[in-house]
């Protein structure tokens, strides 16, 4: 923000000392343009500050900051659905990788949430620079990175980093807040600094050093954190280690510190830090969070570049905020507010306010985070048009999520949306579902479709027609399936047989159906 105001100053100064009127006007014009840009920067800064205060929440409630952060990025990004947020987050992924690889679907949302924390409480230039440095250091070692994924201890350690980092974030809220007990405040900052060095930096540095030196992870993981920090510095990684000084760890472990009126003396024998004011202690502690978070995301991006399965990497990213917290998190990311979630047996209900219609995808997004054993979901949304309720079974949307090829996905999605109602009316009517299945049957009969693919699709369509209790359509699809089987085994069929099968599908291909609703 200061750079924007420096630009204004320089432009107006050039106007004051310009030798001609024309040059003075040019300087004034540049100054006005800079002023407009500064106003935008200030507005953005104020928005982030406002939302940062809202997300501080109650440190005793561990999901407060995370779900409030979800609401914040939905508001600040101007997006009201996960797809848009994911696209925006993919641009952040490029900051780490330089555009070398495509951001896996779903990672963008996590990065968008991360970016909110970066903008509000970190040095963003340093954060993205450190994450890219770690990425660049690790990517040449793709074989070693792939091997790490087969190491159960490493996977446990890296998965714990995400949860530990979240816990550290909650503790940092208390550390940055004003305190009436200065000694306790200082001890909290030292404890947090030590925790992130010992529990979070340790596995990340062990990973970096093991990969760079082509050594087993276990051999580096067994090292003391002080030894890992020394080795990282020896290998030229000082720029990654801001806030990760061994004296902070020893201050907590051995009470190697003394508090005086001006600040804190760190009396341990290892490390570079000596004396810090209270504010400097908080700053260096937060810098440690910045360092470990940047290293973590550089490592995650390197795993993706090495060809790691995105599902496996997603498991490393998962943070447990509880069933209700996950549902609330997804809805807040989709632009909902004041979300309340309740559970009764195998049924979940989520209620909240929203600014406008949701796309159908919000239903599948919530279903994707529901726990095993959940059988139904109800979403109650209130907006300027009143209250609206989406209700239906969970299983059909889960089946859609497991589908592999495009035809299978189309069938599964149609069954899922046909099973759901919006304010009591089907999301997709039976007539619409029948038309989709009939049209898909005609596509499967195309001679250019491989026999095995065609037969598989027709069998799935037959089951789908029966699932929506459309017996006439099921009979027509069964005829199509018999025809395709005859062709598959070499039985000669004439054009009249083919035409009869096609004609048998026409009753379920009306032209006057209304458009399928895309939102609710």
Phi, psi of 490 (to 5 degrees): 90, 10
What is the predicted pLDDT for the residue at 426? Answer: 92
Q: Which long-range contacts (CB under 8 A, 24 or more apart) does 311-319 make?
A: 312/149, 313/104, 314/104, 314/106, 314/107, 315/155, 315/159, 316/155, 316/158, 316/159, 316/162, 317/107, 317/110, 317/162, 318/159, 318/162, 319/66, 319/162, 319/163, 319/166
* 314: pLDDT strictly greater than 60: yes
Q: In the beta sheet, which residues pair with residue 259?
A: 264
Higher pLDDT, 487 or 377: 377
Of 166, 375, 162, 179, give the one whose Cα is nearest residue 282. 179
* 133: pLDDT strictly greater than 90: yes
What is the predicted pLDDT for the residue at 163? Answer: 74
Residue 352 CA to residue 331 CA, distance in Å, equals 9
Q: Give this prediction's pTM.
A: 0.61
Phi, psi of 122 (to 5 degrees): -130, 165
Q: What is the pLDDT of residues 279-309, one digit of tens each?
A: 899 889 889 989 999 999 999 999 999 988 7
- Mapped onto helix, strand or coil, the DSSP state of residue 202 is helix
The whole-number average pLDDT for the span 236-248 is 93
Phi, psi of 83 (to 5 degrees): -65, -45
- At 492, the pLDDT band (50, 70, 90 cuts) reads confident
**Torsion 352-358-360-361 (CA) sign:** negative
Residue 233 CA to residue 496 CA, distance in Å, equals 80
How many residues are there in the chain? Answer: 520
What is the predicted pLDDT for the residue at 178? Answer: 52
The whole-number average pLDDT for the span 206-223 is 94
Contact 321, 313 (CB under 8 A): no
Contact 247, 276 (CB under 8 A): no
**Among 15-24, 70-79, 154-163, 372-381, which is the least confidently predicted range?**
15-24
* 61: pLDDT strictly greater than 50: no
- Mapped onto helix, strand or coil, the DSSP state of residue 390 is strand
* 13: pLDDT strictly greater than 50: no
What is the predicted pLDDT for the residue at 360? Answer: 84
Contact 402, 311 (CB under 8 A): no
Contacts of 362 (CB under 8 A, 6+ apart): 81, 82, 330, 331, 334, 379
The whole-number average pLDDT for the span 464-475 is 96
Ordered DSSP codes for 297-356: HHHHHHHHHTT--HHHHHHHH-----HHHHHHHHHHHTT-EEEEEEEETTEEEEEEE-SS
The whole-number average pLDDT for the span 359-379 is 90
Q: What is the pLDDT of residues 371-411, one digit of tens each?
A: 899 999 999 999 888 999 999 999 999 999 888 888 899 99
Higher pLDDT, 118 or 440: 440
The secondary structure of residue 357, as a DSSP letter, is P
- Radius of gyration, alpha carbons of the chain: 29
Q: What is the pLDDT of residues 18-39, one digit of tens each?
A: 444 454 445 445 444 544 444 4
Residue 269 CA to residue 391 CA, distance in Å, equals 63
Residue 340 CA to residue 378 CA, distance in Å, equals 12
The whole-number average pLDDT for the span 471-496 is 90
What is the predicted pLDDT for the residue at 361? Answer: 83
**Mean pLDDT of the residues in the chain:** 82
């Amino acid at each position: 923000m200061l750079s924007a105001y420096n630009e204004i100053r320089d432009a107006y100064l050039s106007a004051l000392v310009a030798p001609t009127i024309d040059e003075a006007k040019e300087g004034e014009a540049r100054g006005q343009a800079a002023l407009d840009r500064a106003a935008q920067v200030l507005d953005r800064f104020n928005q982030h500050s406002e939302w940062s205060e809202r997300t501080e929440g109650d440190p005793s409630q561990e999901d407060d900051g995370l779900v409030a952060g979800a609401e914040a990025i939905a508001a600040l990004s101007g997006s009201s659905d996960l797809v848009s947020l994911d696209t925006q987050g993919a641009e952040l992924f490029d900051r780490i990788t330089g555009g070398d690889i495509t951001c896996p679907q779903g990672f963008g949302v996590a990065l968008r949430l991360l970016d909110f924390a970066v903008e509000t409480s970190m040095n963003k230039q340093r954060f993205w620079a450190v994450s890219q440095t770690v990425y660049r250091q690790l990517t040449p070692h793709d074989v070693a990175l792939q091997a790490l994924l087969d190491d159960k201890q490493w996977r446990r350690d890296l998965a714990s980093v995400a949860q530990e980092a979240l816990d550290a974030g909650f503790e940092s809220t208390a550390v940055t807040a004003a305190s009436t007990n200065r000694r306790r405040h200082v001890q909290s900052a030292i404890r947090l600094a030590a925790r992130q060095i010992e529990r979070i930096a340790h596995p990340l540095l062990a990973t970096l050093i093991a990969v760079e030196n082509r050594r087993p992870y276990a051999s580096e993981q067994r090292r003391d954190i002080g030894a890992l920090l020394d080795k990282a510095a020896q290998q030229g990684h000082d720029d990654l280690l801001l806030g990760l000084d061994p004296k902070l760890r020893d201050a907590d472990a051995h009470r190697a510190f003394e508090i005086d009126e001006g600040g804190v003396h760190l009396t341990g024998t290892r490390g570079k830090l000596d004396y810090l004011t209270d504010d400097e202690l908080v700053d260096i502690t937060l810098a440690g969070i910045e360092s470990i978070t940047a290293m973590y995301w550089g490592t995650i991006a390197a795993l993706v570049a090495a060809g790691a399965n995105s599902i496996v990497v997603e498991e490393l990213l998962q943070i447990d905020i509880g069933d209700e917290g996950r549902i609330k998190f997804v809805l807040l990311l989709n632009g909902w507010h004041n979300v309340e979630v309740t559970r009764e047996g195998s049924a979940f209900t989520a209620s909240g306010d929203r600014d406008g219609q949701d796309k159908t995808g919000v239903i599948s997004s919530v279903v994707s985070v529901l726990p095993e054993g959940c059988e139904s979901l109800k979403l109650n949304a209130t907006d300027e048009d009143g209250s609206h309720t989406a209700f239906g079974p969970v299983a059909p949307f889960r089946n859609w999520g497991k589908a592999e090829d495009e035809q299978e996905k189309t069938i599964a999605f149609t069954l899922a949306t046909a099973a759901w109602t919006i304010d009591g009316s089907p999301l997709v009517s039976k007539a619409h579902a029948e038309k989709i299945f009939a049209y898909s049957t005609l596509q499967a009969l195309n001679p250019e479709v491989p026999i095995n693919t065609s037969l598989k699709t027709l069998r799935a369509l037959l089951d789908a027609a029966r699932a929506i209790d459309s017996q006439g359509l099921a009979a027509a699809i069964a005829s199509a399936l018999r025809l395709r089987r005859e062709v598959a085994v070499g039985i000669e069929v004439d054009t009249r047989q083919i035409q009869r099968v096609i004609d048998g599908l026409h009753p379920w291909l009306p032209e006057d159906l209304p458009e399928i609703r895309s939102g609710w």
